[in-house]
């Protein structure tokens, strides 16, 4: 199988497999173009490239920028359900087939040809109740009960939580499939479902919404987000930043840009993130924004700050910019010594916990920010944290969750 990788109606290159080795070669025309899709991990050069040294769960022997398009846990579960319907086991699906199955539905602007299977382009109205029931079947390992529409709108989504790519009409409160063209009056959103498994208890969407409100008040750039109610649950919905006026914008995570495996905590630091502001000439306001995000994560106890939770955008001219913030929420476990969120995933001045103001400013030294501006951002974040109960009330967070978060915010005071 030869897989063609495309972006913005241009062919980036081609992939094939020889035995256990995946091979990639840039297209000759793309080599002469203005887009540098992987400037640090795979700069444009002729010849065949292989990645046998990156056969881990994160990169899977693929070029980093291509591996970034693959879904994570939940999306893989949905993809497996799709193949199970045609008699294929999860172990039998090759990486190239998984990419081919994504076709034109990947997050960002990458497209893969040939497409493994055709999907309908209808825009039937979807009911949240039906989607949640189908997700429960997928989680329970019952692929035959997973609806085809869920497969088409969930198999491309990243992250561990159950989610779907939708088109949403806010005025009439109507949801349709969002993986292709959507009708007039609809916009592209991503919905995260709440409380569908024991590992994802009810109330996480409310917490994420409160954190969204706090981030906005601190001046962090995020796309519009809100809660949708279905039966007894509320689900977090956020506007996609890789779809604007029907056009695709490419997005690439920090994980892909610098080749830092998000499954390996504390192998990178915030300085790695900040350095890209200089390398991409992103400007002083963007540097302040990056610092603001680090401060927020520390003071508001978000330790799920791994390399897939920071992204950049690439436009059709090859210009790089900072993507809006996303997946900002309470993520802190101080009881389990092996917990993913016991310490920050990205190191801060060589530390993952007990962060001080001095650590924050030292980590940001490459940004060359003014001391007064850094001090102001830290104070503003502290004010937001001290006012958490107000945000908890707006987001209707349960008393149990609210009290636990308040306790954690006290523990991480700087």
Predicted local confidence at residue 130, as pLDDT = 67
Closest C-alpha to 218, from 410, 16, 377: 377
Residue 115 clears pLDDT 80, i.e. is over it: yes
The encoded tokens of residue 395 equal 């987001």
DSSP string over 293-362: HHHHHHHTTB----GGG-EEEE-TT--EEEPPP-----B--SS-TT-TTSS-SSBBTTBSSS--HHHHHH
Predicted local confidence at residue 168, as pLDDT = 93
The encoded tokens of residue 199 equal 């590992």
Please tell me the distance from the alpha carbon of residue 327 to that of residue 311, in angstroms, as a whole number: 11
Residue 265 clears pLDDT 60, i.e. is over it: yes
- Specify the higher pLDDT residue, 78 or 326: 326
Predicted local confidence at residue 229, as pLDDT = 86
Q: Are strands 10-18 and 3-7 parallel, antiparallel or unpaired?
A: antiparallel
Residue-wise pLDDT tens digits, 307-361:
999 999 999 999 999 999 999 999 999 888 889 999 999 999 999 999 999 999 9
Predicted local confidence at residue 131, as pLDDT = 74
DSSP string over 257-276: HHT--TTSTTSSBHHHHHHH
Indicate the average pLDDT of the chain. Answer: 91
Residue-wise pLDDT tens digits, 350-385:
999 999 999 999 999 999 999 999 999 999 999 999
Q: Under the phi-then-psi rule, with left for phi > 0, alpha for psi from -120 to 50, and beta for the rest, what region is 411?
A: alpha
Residue 51 clears pLDDT 80, i.e. is over it: yes
Highest mean pLDDT among 68-82, 134-148, 199-213, 320-334: 320-334
Q: Do 110 and 314 form a contact (C-beta atoms < 8 A)?
A: no
Predicted local confidence at residue 226, as pLDDT = 97
Q: Which domains does the chain have, with CATH numbers?
A: 3-113 (no CATH), 125-243 (no CATH), 250-411 (1.10.1070)
């Amino acid at each position: 199988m030869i897989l063609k990788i495309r972006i913005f109606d241009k062919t980036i290159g081609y992939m094939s497999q020889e035995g256990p080795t995946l091979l990639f070669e840039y297209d000759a025309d793309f080599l002469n173009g203005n887009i540098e899709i992987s400037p640090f991990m795979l700069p444009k050069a002729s010849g065949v490239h292989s990645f046998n040294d990156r056969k881990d769960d994160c990169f899977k022997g693929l070029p980093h920028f291509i591996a970034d398009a693959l879904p994570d846990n939940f999306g893989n579960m949905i993809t497996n359900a799709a193949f199970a319907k045609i008699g294929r086991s999860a172990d039998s699906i090759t990486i190239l087939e998984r990419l081919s199955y994504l076709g034109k539905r990947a997050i960002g602007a990458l497209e893969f040809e040939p497409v493994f299977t055709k999907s309908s382009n209808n825009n039937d109205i979807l009911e949240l109740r039906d989607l949640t029931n189908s997700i429960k079947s997928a989680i329970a390992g019952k692929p035959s009960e997973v609806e085809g529409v869920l497969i088409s709108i969930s198999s491309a989504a990243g992250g561990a939580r159950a989610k779907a790519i939708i088109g949403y009409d806010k005025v009439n409160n109507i949801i349709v499939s969002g993986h292709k063209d959507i009708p007039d009056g609809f916009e592209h959103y991503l919905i995260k479902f709440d409380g569908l498994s024991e590992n994802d208890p009810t109330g996480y969407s409310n917490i994420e919404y409160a954190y969204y409100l706090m981030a906005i008040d601190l001046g962090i750039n995020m796309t519009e987000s809100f809660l949708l109610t279905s039966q007894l649950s509320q689900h977090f919905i956020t506007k996609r930043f890789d779809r604007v006026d029907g056009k695709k914008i490419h997005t690439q995570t920090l994980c892909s840009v610098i080749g830092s495996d998000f499954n390996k905590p504390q192998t990178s630091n915030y300085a790695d993130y900040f350095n890209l502001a200089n390398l991409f000439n992103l400007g002083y306001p963007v540097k302040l924004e990056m610092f603001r995000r680090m401060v927020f994560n520390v003071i508001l106890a978000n330790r799920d700050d791994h390399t897939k939770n920071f992204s950049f955008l690439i436009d059709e001219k090859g210009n790089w910019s900072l993507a809006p913030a996303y997946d900002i929420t309470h993520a802190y476990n101080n009881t389990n010594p092996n917990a993913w969120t016991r310490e920050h995933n990205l190191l801060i001045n060589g530390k993952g916990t007990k962060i001080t103001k001095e650590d924050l400013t030292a980590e940001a030294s490459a940004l060359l920010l003014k001391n007064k501006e850094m001090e102001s951002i830290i104070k503003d974040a502290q004010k937001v944290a001290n006012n958490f109960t107000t945000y908890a009330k707006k987001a209707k967070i349960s008393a149990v969750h609210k009290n636990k978060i308040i306790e954690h915010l006290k523990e991480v005071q700087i």
